[in-house]
Structure formats: structure tokens, C-alpha cells
């Protein structure tokens, strides 16, 4: 049986750790690509990972490269390319630089793997996935953003810590944009089947939501010289698994919504069914008035972000 081919664009911490999770789970053969200026770095990481295979007992083949030809005919491509926000860098600086980077990546994907499902991780996420979709021209179901899985994982972690329970018993959902305007869904959050609102006071729950929104920034402040990568990479691997194994997972991703939720043609975080073809169905929930208002506010923030990106790219 042919193994799935998984290409990861960007061999930094997120990309390399994603390769680690995917290889350990034997999700397929992996190509780890980085820009030519990094020379043999991706080859070194790939070789290091391969040498772990006898210890952990996985048979995934992992190669490192600077050449997109090695990624040809990939089944799934994970895009982690881009620069992290640095001290003194404005949001627009990050937006402009990474939009140009992911545009170049998208052109290469379009040329070498026209049938791939693409998972975008680069930030600012909501704008980057929109740009990759535009440049590739792929069906929107095959271009998705990784944000909801990570945000929900952070939320579940903080809820489990608060209640002193297993994370396995916490079920939660977050929607909307990735960042300050993400929308917690109390109506879809429970612990062992018990609504979270019966277990945590409203003011304390709001504090946990705020910590979730600032989850990435909190880690940056602790690390000083980097950003989160274990959890983002694990979230990518879960999405890769859903696709290559056709798991039909119902999970939140940044998906293209037009008529859905009245979004009007933008990528926002919503629950979907994820399988071999990418997004197989967008799940439309009956939001409470409060949830609806928060979701609409988040969608407007995404639209503003995309508009700013378009202005910067045109200048």
C-alpha cells in the first residue's frame, strides 16, 4: 500500500516538530523543506529524525531538502514558512513580509502538487490562509488553516488545570479568528458531559478565556527568544492524520465560508468534518445572541486584516 506523502514547508521549530509527530505516528513519508539559504539544515534535521526510528519503531521515510521538486505530488502540505514577530516589529511589517513569503510558497505548491490538501500555519493565520487559497487557485475545501485545534487545546488545558480533571474529559469549541477576537462557545463546552458553566463561575471562566486568547503571547514572554511549537505542531499532526487516514474528525479549522454563517467569502474558524478531501462539510451551529455578536465581531476583524494585507501587497 502506498504511503501518503506529507511535505512540510519550513524546517524551523514548528515544521520540524510537526515532522516528528507525523513520523512517530507513521502518517506517511515526509519531506522537510526549507529555503536554499539554510543549506543543509533540513537534511540534518531529517537525518536526525530518521535515526530515532529504530528507537521508537516507526518506518516513515524522512528527507530534508531545499528543492520543491522533492515535494512533487504530495498528498498533504503543511505551510509553516514565515518569520515570527520580533521586538519592534509592527503587525503590518509581519503581515507584509509573511504574505510575500506564503505567496511564493503557494506558487511552488500550485506547480508541483496540484492535488494536495494544504494546511497553513503561518501567521497572521487568517490572512495567510486566504492568500494561499488565492494564489494556488485550489478548491477552498483543500486549503485550510490550523488555528482552532490549537486554540481549543489551550482552552481545554486551562479548563482541566482549573478543575483538576483529565484533559480527556474536557470537550470545548472556539470559533472565529485566530487571536484576540477568538470566540469561546460556552454552549459547546463541557467536562464529562457537564456544562462548564455549572462548574466554573462566569468571571473565572472569562479569565480562562482571556488566557486562552493570549496563549501564544504568554509562551513568547516566557521563552524570550522564540514562540510556541510543541502544541502548534501537534495540532498540525492531528489535522494531517484526519486527512491521510480519512478520519472524518469534527474539529475547528480556519475554513472558507461564503454563505455559511453569512461570512461572505473569508477564512474563519468554524467546526468542520475533515477527511481525505480536506473540508468535507462545514458545521453550522445555532449560536446564542451573545455568541453570534462575538463571532460577527471576530469576522470583521478578519476582514480588516485581509484588507490591510491587500493594501500592503499592492503598495
Buried b (16+ CB within 10 A) or exposed e, 75-103: bbbbbbbbebbeeeeeeeebbbebbebbb
Q: Which has more confidence, 311 or 86? A: 311
- pLDDT tens-digit series, residues 125-161: 999 999 999 999 999 999 999 999 999 999 999 999 9
Catalytic residues: 178
Does 5-145 match 148-309 in CATH topology?
no
Tell me the backbone φ, ψ of residue 32, rounded to 5 degrees. Answer: -110, 110
User: What pLDDT sits at residue 187?
Assistant: 87
User: What pLDDT sits at residue 184?
Assistant: 87
Cβ contacts of 301-306, under 8 Å, gap ≥ 24: 301/177, 301/179, 301/180, 301/181, 302/126, 302/127, 302/176, 302/177, 302/181, 302/266, 302/267, 302/268, 303/266, 305/95, 305/124, 305/126, 305/127, 305/177, 306/126, 306/127, 306/130, 306/266
User: What pLDDT sits at residue 225?
Assistant: 83
**Is the model's pLDDT at 2 over the cut of 90?**
no
Q: Do 152 and 235 meet the contact criterion of CB atoms below 8 Å apart?
A: no
What's the mean per-residue pLDDT of the chain?
A: 94
User: What pLDDT sits at residue 86?
Assistant: 66
**Is the model's pLDDT at 22 over the cut of 80?**
yes
**Is the model's pLDDT at 88 over the cut of 80?**
no
User: What pLDDT sits at residue 87?
Assistant: 59
**Is the model's pLDDT at 93 over the cut of 80?**
no
- Please determine, looking at this structure, whether the domain spanning 148-309 carries the CATH number 1.10.240.10: no
Mean pLDDT of 175-180: 90
Tell me the backbone φ, ψ of residue 209, rounded to 5 degrees. Answer: -60, -45
Considering the segment(s) 5-145 as one domain, its CATH architecture is 3-Layer(aba) Sandwich (3.40)
Give the model's confidence band at 217: pLDDT under 50 very low, under 70 low, under 90 confident, else very high.
confident
What's the pTM value of the predicted model, to 2 decimals?
0.96
Give the model's confidence band at 20: pLDDT under 50 very low, under 70 low, under 90 confident, else very high.
very high
Peptide bond into 124 cis (omega under 30): yes
**Is the model's pLDDT at 89 over the cut of 80?**
no
Instruction: Delimit the domains of the chain by residue range.
Output: 5-145, 148-309
Reading the block at residue 270, the C-alpha cell is 468554524
**Is the model's pLDDT at 42 over the cut of 80?**
yes
User: What pLDDT sits at residue 73?
Assistant: 98
User: What pLDDT sits at residue 227?
Assistant: 86
Reading the block at residue 134, the C-alpha cell is 488565492
Mean pLDDT of 71-82: 97
Amino acid at each position: 500500500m502506498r504511503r501518503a506523502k506529507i511535505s512540510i514547508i519550513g524546517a524551523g521549530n514548528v515544521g520540524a516538530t510537526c515532522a516528528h509527530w507525523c513520523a512517530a505516528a507513521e502518517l506517511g513519508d515526509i519531506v522537510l523543506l526549507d529555503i536554499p539559504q539554510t543549506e543543509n539544515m533540513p537534511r540534518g534535521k531529517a537525518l536526525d529524525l530518521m535515526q530515532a526510528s529504530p528507537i521508537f519503531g516507526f518506518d516513515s521515510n524522512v528527507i530534508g531538502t531545499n528543492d520543491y521538486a522533492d515535494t512533487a505530488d504530495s498528498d498533504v502540505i503543511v505551510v509553516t514558512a514565515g518569520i515570527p514577530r520580533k521586538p519592534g516589529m509592527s503587525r503590518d511589517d509581519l503581515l507584509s513580509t509573511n504574505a510575500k513569503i506564503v505567496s511564493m510558497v503557494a506558487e511552488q505548491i500550485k506547480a508541483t502538487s496540484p492535488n494536495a490538501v494544504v494546511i497553513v500555519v503561518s501567521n497572521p493565520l487568517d490572512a495567510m490562509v486566504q492568500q494561499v487559497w488565492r494564489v494556488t487557485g485550489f478548491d477552498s475545501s483543500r486549503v485550510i488553516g490550523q488555528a482552532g485545534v490549537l486554540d481549543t487545546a489551550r482552552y481545554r488545558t486551562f479548563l482541566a488545570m482549573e478543575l483538576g480533571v483529565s484533559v480527556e474529559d474536557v470537550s470545548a469549541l472556539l470559533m472565529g479568528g485566530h487571536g484576540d477576537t477568538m470566540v469561546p462557545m460556552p454552549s459547546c463546552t463541557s467536562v464529562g458531559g457537564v456544562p462548564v458553566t455549572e462548574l466554573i463561575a462566569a468571571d473565572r471562566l472569562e479569565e480562562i478565556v482571556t488566557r486562552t486568547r493570549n496563549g501564544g503571547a504568554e509562551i513568547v514572554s516566557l521563552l524570550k527568544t522564540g514562540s510556541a511549537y510543541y502544541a502548534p505542531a501537534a495540532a498540525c499532526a492531528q489535522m494531517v492524520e484526519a486527512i491521510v487516514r480519512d478520519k472524518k474528525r469534527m474539529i475547528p479549522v480556519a475554513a472558507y465560508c461564503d454563505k455559511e454563517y453569512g461570512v461572505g467569502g473569508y477564512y474563519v474558524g468554524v467546526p468542520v468534518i475533515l477527511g481525505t478531501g480536506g473540508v468535507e462539510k462545514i458545521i453550522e451551529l445555532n449560536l446564542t445572541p451573545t455568541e453570534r455578536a462575538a463571532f460577527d465581531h471576530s469576522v470583521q476583524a478578519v476582514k480588516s486584516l485581509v484588507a490591510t494585507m491587500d493594501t500592503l501587497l499592492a503598495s
